[in-house]
Structure 1
Amino acid sequence: MFTGIVQGMALVEQCQEMGTNKRLVVQFPKNSMDKQQLGASVAINGVCLTVAEVDQDKVSFDVIDTTLALTNLGAIQALDKVNFERAAKMGDEVGGHVMSGHIMCAIEVLQVRTQEDSYRIRFVVKKQTGLSHDSSDVDAMRYLFDKGYVGLNGSSLTICDIGEDWIEISLIPETLRLTTFGLLKVGDRVNLEIDSHTQATVDTVERILQQKGLK
């Protein structure tokens, strides 16, 4: 489990090809990986990854081909920066909203602009072909609402504006300082995780409406 409060940025030192999979060797800020253990979970750009190797603040993760295709980790290269959050422990404050690190899809930066005292990023949310066993389409817009929660690259954020096929977020200076959002440019892909409570509510309501012949 993660809280959606990104703890900082880390540097990808190496991207090692392993057949169709990839190993990421990531250098974290000093002391940020204290007492880290093999098999523990760390969110990298919001993707829950398992620690495969630890060398002080340098940690390696193996990423399977499905995750590489579904998320922006497939495009990650050496010297890229990524957001990170260590798994939450019992008793930790949940400053954002509960997140699992299971990504629904990656969405694309449509526009970046400064508006008054805020830094705004607009993302286009296209319906995408699913990568699950049933090959169903992924229609993330069904679960996105004005002022609702959304997980983007591991950060718990509030949607400040929404259209038919886009969402917009507004970022404060502290979030820009701690995360990679200030590095994003038009065309970049960002990992999207839907709030699990919102998803459950929408799916339940739609199922009931279908059963009653109202949808």
Structure 2
Amino acid sequence: MFTGIVQGTAPLVAIDEKPNFRTHVIEMPAKLLSGLELGASVAHNGCCLTVTAVEGTRVSFDLIKETLCLTNLGELALGDRVNIERAARFNDEIGGHLMSGHIICTAEVAKILASENNRQIWLRMPNASLMKYILHKGFIGIDGISLTIGEVVNNRFCVHLIPETLERTTLGRKRLGDKVNIEIDPQTQAVVDSVERVVASRKARLSATFKD
């Protein structure tokens, strides 16, 4: 599990490309290396990946076809940076919201509105059916960052970014058309899906009653 509080960014220093498979090597910030072992979980742009090798400050991760299809990690090139978070431990402060590191889709940066000390980013979701989980003032994970949803319009929504977020993460470098990883808040998804099942069940019972 993760908290959505990005602990640093790391550059991609090597890529081993194979059919439907990639190995990424990043230069891990020194402060995040303590106790890092093979098999540990580290979020890259919000996507939970497993450590496959540690050589000094260089850490390797394997990306399978599913990860390359669902996330923006397959589009990265040498020198690009990723948001990094080590897996949460018991007694850690939950400064954001609990996140699983399971990316549901990518969203496109559709509009950027900048003003002094503020930035508003509008994102376009690829599937309108996912918008039922995008609620005003709800939680969402964007490239591994726990954020609060602002306005919601059709298949778009926005988030408001403070200078600290722009400085500590890669969101400050995003441009129009860029893709970001999206993780829906699991509690929101569970509630929405449960309500839908209850409503569908009641409708089915009513329909059966009238038929009788």
Specify the TM-score bucket, using the shorter chain as the normaliser: over 0.9
Q: Is the 1:119–1:170 contact (alpha carbons within 8 Å) kept by the matching residues of 2?
A: yes
CA distance in 2, matches of 1:94, 1:31: 19
Partner in structure 1 of residue 143 of structure 2: 153
- Number of positions where the alignment pairs a residue of Structure 1 with one of Structure 2: 204
2:201 aligns with 211
Q: How does 1:117-156 map to 2 (within 5 A)?
A: 117-127=117-127, 139-156=129-146
The residue type paired with residue 45 of structure 2 is N
- Does structure 2 conserve the Cα–Cα contact (< 8 Å) formed by 1:2 and 1:86? yes
Shift of residue 162, structure 1, vs aligned partner: 1.1
Give every structure 1 segment of 4 or more consecutive aligned residues whose post-TM-superposition deviation is greater than 2 Å. Answer: none
Structure whose alpha-carbon radius of gyration is higher = 2
**Residue of structure 1 equivalent to 2:152:** 162
Where structure 2 has 5 or more consecutive residues not aligned to the other structure, the ranges are 205-212
CA distance in 2, matches of 1:8, 1:113: 25
Paired position in structure 2 for 1:193: 183
**1:3 aligns to what?**
3
Superposed, 1:5-44 pairs within 5 Å as 5-44=5-44
Contact 1:31 1:57 in 2 (8 A): no
AA in 2 matched with 1:160: G
Between the aligned partners of 1:113 and 1:166, the Cα distance in structure 2 is 14
One-letter code aligned to 1:25 = V
What is the Cα deviation at residue 161 of structure 1?
Answer: 1.2
TM-score by length of 2: 0.93
C-alpha contact 1:34 1:57 (8 A) present in aligned 2: no
Q: Identify the residue that residue 96 of structure 1 maps to in structure 2.
A: 96
Distance in 1 between residues matched to 2:192 and 2:116, nearest whole Å: 34
| Cα distance in structure 2, aligned partners of 1:161 and 1:188 | 20
Partners of 1:106 and 1:189 within 8 A in 2: yes
User: TM-score scaled to structure 1, two decimals?
Assistant: 0.92
User: C-alpha separation between the residues in 2 aligned to 1:117 and 1:36?
Assistant: 36
Residue identity matched to 2:74: G
Structure (1/2) with the larger helix percentage: 2
Q: CA–CA distance in 2 between the matches of 1:25 and 1:57?
A: 10
Question: What is the rounded CA distance, in whole Å, between the counterparts of 1:204 and 1:71 in structure 2?
Answer: 27
For 1:175, the equivalent position in structure 2 comes to: 165
- Cα distance in 2 for partners of 1:31, 1:98 equals 22
Aligned to 1:66: 66
Quote how far apart the aligned CAs of 1:116 are. 4.9
